[in-house]
Amino acid sequence: MSTPTEPILAARGLTKSYRTTVALRGVDIHVSAGEVVGLLGPNGAGKSTLTKLLCGLVRGDGGTATIAGAAAGSTPARGKVGYLAELFRFPGWATAAEVLATHQRLGHRPVTDPAAERAALLAEVGLSNAAATRVEAMSKGMQQRLGLAQALVGAPEVLLLDEPTSALDPAGRHTVREVLARARDRGTAVLLNTHLLGEVELLADRVVLIDAGRVVAQGTVAELTAVHGVTVETDQGRVEHPDISRDEIPGLVKRLVREGRSVYSVEPHRSTLEDLYLELVGDRETQR
């Protein structure tokens, strides 16, 4: 994993409303080169709007967003972005190679050997044998992989991915994780919008949790899932110490030993992303 550097994608105070519905209420987010940021939140939280705004599909009402120094959505910024929409389709009559060729032509990036790039991209997403297969003959999972290959055309500096694993089986998800890990290693900044907390825990360097158009939590997975409390088993039984932080555990154990307790086990309470998600967002779907 490379070390994240200066943000290549930076947004401050982004706001967006659709008539009476407020989708974004001042979102700040940044992604550095070589960093994968997981964007989490319930349906309708504003994740897709944020992603679309960053790639120019949606016009923001306020705030600023830049990609590699250019205004997000502008032609220079779009030239540096690879995007996979949540709901997308390629022409059913086109083959996988033709889809990629079209995007190569529209990408405005000089490619020495376009055919070799297409072959490499298809191999990267596990579609080596599907270059001549028409999109309409592909399964949803294959189309999703092709979508990812399309997003990777021209080696973009920023990848904006909206639910890239939604239609994939476990093997497909594994492939996507590998592809994104390689992209990160090449220095690509990845904003990964997903519902799958496990994907984020496995892949993301940082997590941004968004709800009702606001960022409600952000940090590394380790920071967000830090130890909160500990259960200690002594000769007097199991006792929970809910307010103890990770750094306070050794002191607690010393104190118990000093008091003559025999300590058999210490089990830190580590919350999961799911715990955090449920604590901050809850079951928002049923509350709407």
Partner 1 sequence: MTDVLVIARLALQEAVRRRVLTVVGMLTLLSGGLYLAGCISLKHHVGGLLETPAIKPIVPATLLGLASFTTLFLGSVLSVFLTAGAVRGDVDRGLVQPLVVRPVGRNSYLGGRALAAAVVSCSYVLLVSVFATALTRLMFHNLPPSAWQVIPRLVTGVLVVTALTLLVSCLFSTVATGVSVLMAYGAGLVAGLLGEIGKSFGAHTLTRIAEAVSWALPFEAMYRDALQKLSPSGPLGQLVQLGPLGGANGGGPGLWLFTAAYIIGCGLLASWRFGRADL
Residues at the contact surface with partner 1, assessed by CB under 8 A = 18, 52, 55-59, 75-76, 78-79, 81, 83, 85, 87-91, 93-94, 98, 102-103, 105-108, 147, 150
Nearer to partner 1, 87 or 222 (CB): 87
Phi, psi dihedral angles at 266 (to 5 degrees):
-130, 120
Residue entry with tokens 């009402």: 61
- Report in angstroms how near the CB of residue 102 gets to partner 1 at its nearest: 6
**Strand, coil or helix: 58:** coil
3-class DSSP string for 155-222: CCCEEEEECCCCCCCHHHHHHHHHHHHHHHHCCCEEEEECCCHHHHHHHCCEEEEEECCEEEEEECHH
Task: Please identify, using beta-carbon distances, which residue of 39 and 58 lies nearer to partner 1.
Answer: 58
Measured from the CB of residue 264, what is the shortest distance to partner 1 in angstroms? 58
Sheet hosting strand 237-245, strand order edge to edge: 237-245, 227-234, 263-270
Give me the least distance between CB of 211 and partner 1, in Å please: 21
Helix (H) or strand (E) holding 39: strand 36-40
- Determine the Cα–Cα distance for residues 79 and 156; give it in Å rounded to an integer: 8
**Strand, coil or helix: 49:** helix
Minimum distance from residue 137 beta carbon to partner 1 (Å): 13
- Strands 36-40, 206-211: pairing kind: parallel
Cβ–Cβ < 8 Å for 71, 100: no
Task: Please say which residue, 88 or 269, places its beta carbon nearer to partner 1.
Answer: 88
Asked if 145 and 100 touch (Cβ cutoff 8 Å), the reply is no
Question: Is the CB of 40 or the CB of 67 nearer to partner 1?
Answer: 67
Of 93 and 283, nearer to partner 1 (C-beta) is 93
Q: Identify which of residues 10 and 72 has a Cβ nearer to partner 1 in the complex.
A: 72
Least distance to partner 1 from the beta carbon of 91, Å?
6
Q: 103 vs 206, which CB is nearer to partner 1?
A: 103
User: Measured from the CB atom, is 4 or 164 closer to partner 1?
Assistant: 164
Q: Kindly give the residue spans of alpha helices, DSSP state H, lying in 55-169.
A: 75-78, 96-106, 114-124, 140-152
Q: Which residues pair with 17 in a beta bridge?
A: 22
Least CB distance to partner 1 at residue 99 (A): 9
> Which residue from 63, 149, 141 is spatially nearest to 98, judged by alpha carbons?
149
Over its C-alpha atoms, the chain yields an Rg (Å, rounded) of 22
Beta carbon of residue 229, minimum distance to partner 1 (angstroms, whole number): 45
Least separation in angstroms between CB 206 and partner 1: 24
